[in-house]
Amino acid sequence: MTLLGEDLEGQVIRPPAEAESILLQVTLGCSHNKCDFCPAYKGKRFAIKSPERIRAALDYAAHHFADVRRLFLCDGDALILPQERLEDLLTDIRQRLPQVTRISTYANAKALSRKTEAELARLRALGLSTLYLGLESGDDETLASMHKWGDAEEHLRQAAKAKAAGLKLSVTVLLGLGGQTRAREHAEATGRALSRMDPEQAAALALMIVPGTPLHQRLLAGDFTPQNDQGLLQELAWLLETTNLTSGLFFSNHASNPLRLKLRLPRDKQAGLSLIHNALAGQTPLVPHAYRRL
């Protein structure tokens, strides 16, 4: 269930878990939009939609999706809205869509850095429940090479602030982002960062290099050597070995992954590592490349 055809501009990205959520587009694009690997908003100029357009979309949702209980704020940077605008927006959602019980959005360290813990707690009280945070890597050299905003410690600070405010975290990381030259450093540092964040959910995606991105230009210039399947599996093993969650889900079931896992940590950690090692030994078939396209 989505607001299909109702004031959605351009390509709209959402997490797989939000497939049946109302998609409420409150911003266009991403305020940073400089990450070398990300193709999502390269053709969009960042903007904030007017309150009038957002209210019209809410009215449409109230009329057409009165039984849908989940709502996702998009595009990639809804949390960058000024605090007063966000509070007004969440209040409008409660009034116009009283059946909605879960509101989620993408969040990046840049947007979180502009909110205090008290402000985030206020958003939580008004109905915001889950943040999808793109860590991508816990390795500062990898993050800097991809021009991502903030180093690993910055992401850890902002994640801790969000959790202290009562918000749930779903954190994504990218296998292969360090290329072949920095694979182990990237994977192990990312596992350590996830352990310190201790999110309710962590998802490992495999890097997909998309034409038109700066990373694709680096690939063509010979400045980046991507991982093959064996390399991605080895990174997944290093990542899982160094990831210790108190009680969280660990996924590698995105369409991009050569081996799809859904684990509850710490309970399923050793079983997951056994599956990866079996795949590395050729004893478990991988997802065919034809089925790894978005």
Which one-letter DSSP state was computed for residue 46? -
Beta strands in 65-149 (DSSP E): 70-74, 102-107, 128-136
pLDDT digits (tens, 9 = 90+) for 68-92: 999 999 988 899 999 999 999 999 9
Model pLDDT, residue 8:
82
Strands 22-25 vs 70-74: parallel, antiparallel or unpaired: parallel
Tell me what pLDDT residue 43 has: 78
Supply the pLDDT for residue 294. Answer: 54
Question: How many of the other CB atoms lie within 10 Å of CB of 24?
Answer: 28
Selection from 124, 2, 129 nearest residue 64 by Cα: 2
- Note the pLDDT of residue 290: 79
Q: Which pTM does this prediction carry?
A: 0.93
Residue segments in the chain with a per-residue pLDDT below the cut of 70: 1-7, 293-294
**What is the spatial distance between Cα 14 and Cα 59, in angstroms, rounded to a whole number?**
21
Would you state the pLDDT for residue 6?
56
Length of the chain: 294
